[in-house]
Amino acid sequence: MPLSTLSILTAAQLSQLLRRGEVTSRQITESCLSVIREKNPRLNAFLEVFADEALSQADESDRRLFDGAPLSPLDGVPVAIKDNLLYEGHIASCASRMLEHFVAPYTATAVQRLRQAGMPILGRLNMDEFAMGSASETGAFGPVKNPLDPSLVAGGSSGGSACAVAAGMVPLALGSDTGGSVRQPSALCGVVGVKPAYGAVSRWGLVAYASSMDQVGVIARSAEDAAMVMQLISGGDEKDSTSEENLRFHQLRLPDMKKTRLALPVEWFGAELDCPVPGSENALSFARAMEAAGATLVPVSIPALEDALAAYFVLSCAEASSNLARYDGLRYGHQTAMPEDLSALYAKSRGEGFGQEVKRRILLGTFTLTSGYQDKYYLRAQAARERLTREFRAVMESCDGLVCPVSPRAAWELGQKPDSVALYQSDLYTVPANLTGLPALSFPWGQAGHMPGSVGLMGHKTGLNRILGIAAMAETLKGGGANG
């Protein structure tokens, strides 16, 4: 097989070629590195490439395959990781000056499980600073560009992960999703993005933004590929008390569409499912296609959706304020030069180390936790979150999945910098999954102007296999997964 074609194949296809001896892991890795050299200077998806190390890991994989002892179905298939996942001996900067030189002292559980499965790690991927953003423009090391149209944003905060997979630089990538940061850039770049249920994947080694919502996710070129990675990284971990073994992902199964019930919230699609909100055209088109394939569409009402976005930003910023307090210029991270006193050390180190968006969210979070404002903002947001969780739980008791838009608009112009409120509204359809802890995904469907369109699915807490199966079924109906 010509090596130039390897970059457009799915991980499942590469796995098959490896096992048939038609290609080696070194050849796949070299092909990826060649595409990175060609495209990354323009797209800025990778912050650092571990070329020599990845090739050495690929050679080890080839020896195992030759001996007939692969460690997993993805042994030899390269992967890359978002820059907020620790990988021992490597920088994990979170795309921030604050951690620009921070070297990870240990490896995140999700990354470790990929290495234990024999997957070479190609490098670390660009992102919004500390995962705070929806365009991958807030990072300290330049924006990520959309590989389908470099004049447009790639989405965020896992923009580097989505860009790298969509551009053929790597077949698979890990990201993180606190309010849509895997699904939204995947939608804007035309690939598959999966946010597992909260607790399905260990957060050990994921730099915290909002601990009650953060989740390690997968970006891939097909639902099948995403399922293969989920089989490797999901399950309990003694290092993360919030992880649950019973949420381990086992196997992708295509559903019987005649027995499949799909919920559509009237708050997003209207009582007559007549598509009244921005960005929902492709989701409604998908729902109609599933109905034609035998599925039952179920209009449902989730009134608490009205408060979801506001509740998310109050709670996530409050948690960010607490989590990022550790970066004080003393223990690790950026330290200002020659401060006048201890107060100046704190203020200048944080002022120099954090970017504007991170500062904005820390200040917002600190304000909502201030005495006298907790009841007005934080506790009301917690109550809204509880209502939303109850309402979603009731819907999921009788449905296999919930159809939703992913982004209210297609990828916008790079450097356009919409105001903060407009930017925050990019998460309108994705934050409910993080507030409720339910699994969710996005995958390409239809068009959004000259760019790929997308559709989202949410599932029961233990129902990731169902919604991934529905996505895989949809890919067969439209003849494949991501754009080549």
- Give the catalytic positions in this structure: 82, 157, 181
Query: CA dist 250 to 61, 108, 200, 398, Å?
Result: 24, 21, 12, 22
43 Rama class: left (phi>0) / alpha (psi -120 to 50) / beta: alpha
What does the alpha-carbon distance between residue 6 and residue 360 come to, in Å, rounded to a whole number? Answer: 43
Contact between 65 and 75 under an 8 Å Cβ cutoff? The reply is yes
Query: How far does CA 291 lie from the centroid of its chain?
Result: 28
Read off the tokens for 312: 């998310």
